[in-house]
Amino acid sequence: MTTQFKHDACVCHNHKEFSQKNATSSCSIESTLGESQRTLPYNQDKDFAQQQILNTDSFQEECAVVGVFNCDEAPLISYYALFAMQHRGQEASGISACYNNRITTIKAQGLVTKVFTQTNLRKLQGTNAIGHNRYGTAGADSSEDSQPIFACYDLGEIALAHNGNLTNASKIRESLIREGAIFQSKLDTEVIIHLIARSKKELLTPRIMEVMREVEGAFCLVVLSRSKMFVMRDRFGFRPLSLGEITNKDGSIGYIVASETCAFDLVGARYIRDIEAGELLIFEQNNTREAKLISIKIFEDRHKPCVFEYIYFARPDSVVFNKSVYNVRKNLGKQLAKEHLLDADIVIPVPDSGLAAAIGYSQQSKIPFELGLIRNHYVGRTFIEPTQELRELKVRLKLNPIREVIANKRIIVIDDSLVRGTTSKAIVQLLRNAGAKEILLLISAPPTISPCFYGVDTPSKKELICANKSIKEVCQFIQADYLGFLSFEGLKTAVDKESYDYCQACFDGQYLHDIDK
């Protein structure tokens, strides 16, 4: 059997006519624009070029996912949830909704507010929906990489959205190609759909359970069928995924799952719990508007979530892995002060991710906190060839010092991470030019020495400055007067010393899987 997926750059898919023509044992994705498909009223390529993030010297979270079930205006709820999680992905956004047993998808390149309008959101109806925000490497083809992915196969229609990275994806892909599968992208998500479509199990639930056991790595998946929604998290629980509930106008209860709880706050949902590592949730609906929730534990508890979610990725107003991100970051700063108690006039953060840690450092050290750097939040994500000179220009576009705060001061600067070192060097130069007398840079995490293969876009090891230079050499490179990092023991103390059990492969190089490199 040859299985082929056809990706497209279309914005809106109404899959009814296509599904009737393709309801066979093979599986495909619609590739041509139909009458119901419309083009967004903006130049997507130009818009994307103007929206590439300036964080070329930071780790970048890959994606956000949301699933809404048995809720009034599920597509609109998904839209607002994706808006709340825009920080987890700015390259592309998409929503799939089920109405009258048809799955309709709108997806395109760009931010949530650019992809969706009042006009095209009306094309999405129903009480069940899933959504996705994507962060990808610069220059990625959004026509191939945007999600959710829609598929028509022998059991009907499904749409799927995925956050994470499968460490054995290459191996599975090669095996599927030998069996006749045809791939149209490099997405792990496409591998998953091929596995679902080619499974010999008669029902969708056992097919999904089979896939969960076959794939390795980090994944949070939301799958929408004509009558159900499936939500699953990998056996280690690398990426966050939470469950909430929403009360409908008629008093019935609906459910929402999202990568971060800040999405719940925006849509008025009540947080219930985190989806457990290795758990499969099945949402079903009956004719009385009651939703049924079934939990199946595919793997025993082996929680090993990503500690970098606390340090950088997650929004500070989210609860991640059952802890307040803001409180953890403040604790990181307090612990940093215990390990590096320096003599200085003020403490300033590198906004925005260094803010909470800087507050914690100031509270612990009693050194006054000031805002010495102001971030321009309206600078887009312009992709420029990453030369040294241009990186420094991009930092100047994004951050501007307040000279009246900086001049003639000994300054402690708090940042969350130091990756290539080029951004830190540019920030040090900015502060020097603003008249800083002394610049003491502290990082609220251990040195980053290894790339991540669990759903985060990171530089290669040869680009990670701390993997190739001593701390003294790094300090000389960035031209700071002092450079200090949080210790491993300090990280454990700040997060949870009694029950610390997190993936920290970016800091120690200890991966939990064999990696397809």
Say if residues 309 and 297 touch (Cβ distance below 8 Å): no
List the catalytic residue out of 10, 12, 27, 63.
63
∠ Cα 449 450 452 (to 5°): 140
Pairing between β-strand 438-443 and β-strand 410-415 as defined by DSSP bridges: parallel
Q: Is 466 annotated as a binding residue?
A: no
143 annotated to a ligand binding site: no
Helix 325-339 / helix 355-365 crossing angle, nearest 10 deg: 50
Does 353 appear as a known binding residue? yes
Quote the crossing angle between the two packed helices 471-478 and 422-433, to the nearest 10°. 50
Q: How far is CA 428 from CA 120, 344, 370, in A?
A: 46, 16, 16
Report in angstroms the alpha-carbon separations of 345 from 298, 336, 375, 429.
54, 17, 22, 19
Active site residue 63: yes
> In 3D, which of 67, 100, 70 has the Cα closest to residue 291?
70
Q: Where are the alpha helices (DSSP H) in 244-324?
A: 262-267, 308
Query: Does residue 460 have a known ligand-binding role?
Result: no
Determine if residue 28 is labeled as part of a ligand binding site: no
274 annotated ligand binder: no
| Nearest CA-CA partner of 456 in 85, 163, 107, 115 | 163
> Is 503 annotated in some ligand binding site?
yes
d(CA 275, CA 136): 25
The residue written with tokens 């679902």 in the block is 196
Q: Let me know how long the chain is.
A: 517
Nearest alpha carbon to residue 314 among 423, 373, 374, 240: 240
* 112 within 8 A of 52, measured Cβ to Cβ: no
Question: What residue numbers does the annotated binding site for [4Fe-4S] cluster cover?
Answer: 306, 452, 503, 506
Q: Binding site: what residues are annotated?
A: 306, 353, 415-416, 452, 503, 506
Binding site membership for Mg(2+): which residues? Answer: 353, 415-416
Point out the residues that are catalytic. Answer: 63
